[in-house]
Amino acid sequence: MNESNEVYLATFTLFFTPEADILMPRFTGNIVLSSLLVLISKVDAKLAKRLHASKEVKPYSCTPIYPKSGEFRLPPKRSVTHLRRSKVYQVRMALITDTLIEKFMKAITNEASKEWALKFMGVRCPIINVSAHIRAFDEIKPKFLSELVKVRFLTPTRFAVKSTVRRPRPKFRLFPIPENLFHSLVHHWNYFAPENLKINESQLYEYVLNYVVEDDYKIHRESVEIGKGRKAIGFIGYCTYRFDMLEHPMFKTCMKLLSYGELINVGNAKSMGLGVIRVEKFIK
């Protein structure tokens, strides 16, 4: 979609401390997404409304709330997220395109000048620190190169399946087969990447179909409420992938796409914090 020579992806991690204990829904990604759009609306209400209503690929994503030390862990079923007074928590927001990054930076600069705080369930959560990393698409590189790669799916993940007919409801794949994982990643990448960095999808699919296989996995079904009476059904856990033909140029491309997925999430509804992943070397 983008024809300019440079496209940027920015990640902002916001650290905050609640002024009182807060009981929140088990899954908080949709609440964090609302906070992101509220921030954008403070400097450009029309843009925020357009982003919310758009059916196109979203140029942003977020994570649910999780403690400063450690990674996201979904609370047990039939429980809630309990944020404790004065404890430090964090959320990560990823943004693509110059316009959106500039609007967000302007918003947080304005807010920082007046004791900036997020607000969850009516409780102020002052921001105590912001970590920002802005990178051009051509600076996104493989995290490492390895024949065996473990991908941890930290929040419920699901992959949309295209249809050839009009269906009464969406269809989702609830297992991370390589074809679905890399289709999700390359589709998002190519939508925003400049022309000179777009990936040949047919060559990537051919490589993944023939040379990438699940080597081990441990996943289970997980459903979460995502607001307005809606429920998202997906899976969490891990899957280890084995790559053959490591000399093939698409091997490094796959590893780069996994790095991209760590920044923007994978699968369906990644904008609200579904599909948060962590990529690791497999250790026997």
* d(C-alpha 56, C-alpha 191), whole Å: 10
CA–CA distance, 54 with 193 (Å, rounded to integer): 19
pLDDT along the chain (284 residues), means of 10: 76 96 96 95 94 94 92 86 95 95 91 82 94 96 97 96 84 95 98 97 98 97 91 96 97 98 97 97 85
Provide the token pair at 104. Answer: 């967000």
pLDDT for the residue numbered 3: 52
What is the model's pLDDT at position 113? Answer: 67
Question: At 266, is the secondary structure helix, strand, or coil?
Answer: coil
Alpha-carbon distance 229 to 180, whole Å? 27
Residue 173: CA count within 13 A, CB half-sphere: 16
CB 33 within 8 A of CB 163: no
CA gap 159, 149 in Å, rounded: 20
Q: What is the per-residue pLDDT for 4?
A: 54
Q: Name the DSSP class of 112.
A: H
